Structure formats: structure tokens, C-alpha cells
């Protein structure tokens, strides 16, 4: 019999394979947007922080330039790089760490994915707090600038990609595997 609420929660995640992510486009306009997501995981903040920094193990390879999330790295210290290796001397600097307070807050600056080609900049803040015997991980991303169309049109697309990443992070922390077993069964 499972006695610990943390172990019971872990077992529930492992059996269900699903991770409940709260997501929303908080604000959007022609020149900017803010999206946010959060997920509860059955690990304490230091373990959640460690898992967050292992981005190459949980990031969706569909949303990489290389097609392989193992090429993704995140150095969780000021000046650190959220980068992707594309080959010898080739790569992508997705974002730069501008604030780090382990295991509570990690803030990065930069434009994600296709937004890099425009005059757009963004700020992404990850927060981790103790909750329910585990942790609540929250992420907000605010982007502003000039793009090929109003940024309000980009907001739901960016939100969708980041929801996928948050779900994968939650599954990685909860089960050790970021993949969605429901999607794999199809």
C-alpha cells in the first residue's frame, strides 16, 4: 500500500501519463504578448530545478532546428546559454540566462524559434515553489517588437508550443519519460 502522498501522486502520474498544465495567453496586442503555463510535479524544488536544466532530455524534438532535442542545452547560471548544437561551429543561441536564483527563479532573454528573424525580444521567467508535497513550476514568456504580422497572431502559436514543452517537462519529472503515451499509442 502506498502511504506517502508524494509516492501516491507519482504513481498517479506514472499510470495516467498525462500532466495537467494550466495555460493562458495573458495579454496580447499588435506589438507584444504574454503567455503563461504552470504544472505541479511530485518532486521538491531542487529536483525540479535540476530537471528543468536537463532541457535536452525533455524538450520536444519537433520544436528544434536540429530535429534532436539532445542537441539542446541550458546552463542555469547568469550568462548561461539556452543553446542548440547544429554541427561543428554551427548552432543556435535561443536565449541567454539573465537571472538565476536556484532552485526558485530562472530568467532568460531572447526571441524563440521563428521570432528570432524579426525585431522581437522576449523575457522568459521560470519559477519553482514548494506545493502539495512537490513543486509548482510556472513559466511566463513576454515578447515584444516588430514582426511579419501583429504579435497578437503569434501569441496562440507560441503558447501552444510552450504548453507542449511544459507538459513534457511535467511528464519527465513525474515519470522519467517526457513522451505522451497516448500519442505514442496512435
Which 3 state secondary structure label does DSSP give 18? coil
Measured CA to CA, the distance from residue 106 to residue 115 in angstroms comes to: 21
The reported pLDDT for the residue numbered 61 is: 97
Which CATH superfamily is 26-175 part of?
A: START domain (3.30.530.20)
H or E element, residue 173:
helix 151-175
Q: What is the pLDDT of residues 26-45, one digit of tens each?
A: 999 999 999 999 999 999 99
H or E element, residue 47:
helix 45-53
Statement: residue 70 has pLDDT above 70: yes
Which 3 state secondary structure label does DSSP give 176? coil
Q: What is the pLDDT of residues 86-120, one digit of tens each?
A: 999 999 999 999 999 999 999 999 999 999 999 99
Q: What does the buried/exposed string (b/e) look like for 68-77 if buried means 16 or more CB atoms within 10 Å of the residue's CB?
A: ebebbbbebe
Which residues are CB-neighbours of 135 under 8 A, at least 6 positions away? Answer: 40, 41, 43, 44, 45, 47, 48, 128, 129
9-13, 166-170, 178-182: which is most confident: 166-170
Amino acid at each position: 500500500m502506498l502511504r506517502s502522498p508524494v509516492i501516491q501522486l507519482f504513481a498517479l502520474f506514472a499510470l495516467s501519463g498525462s500532466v495537467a498544465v494550466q495555460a493562458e495567453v495573458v495579454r496580447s496586442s499588435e506589438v507584444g504578448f504574454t503567455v503563461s503555463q504552470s504544472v505541479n510535479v511530485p518532486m521538491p524544488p531542487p529536483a525540479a530545478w535540476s530537471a528543468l536544466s536537463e532541457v535536452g532530455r525533455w524538450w520536444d524534438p519537433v520544436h528544434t532546428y536540429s530535429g534532436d532535442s539532445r542537441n539542446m542545452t541550458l546552463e542555469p547560471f547568469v550568462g548561461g546559454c539556452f543553446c542548440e548544437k547544429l554541427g561543428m561551429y554551427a548552432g543556435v543561441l535561443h536565449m541567454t540566462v539573465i537571472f538565476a536564483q536556484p532552485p526558485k527563479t530562472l530568467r532568460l532573454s531572447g526571441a524563440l524559434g521563428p521570432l528570432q528573424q524579426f525585431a522581437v525580444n522576449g523575457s522568459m521567467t521560470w519559477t519553482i515553489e514548494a506545493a502539495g508535497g512537490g513543486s509548482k513550476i510556472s513559466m511566463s514568456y513576454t515578447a515584444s517588437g516588430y514582426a511579419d504580422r501583429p504579435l497578437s497572431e503569434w501569441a496562440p502559436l507560441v503558447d501552444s508550443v510552450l504548453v507542449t514543452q511544459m507538459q513534457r517537462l511535467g511528464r519527465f519529472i513525474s515519470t522519467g519519460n517526457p513522451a505522451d503515451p497516448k500519442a505514442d499509442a496512435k
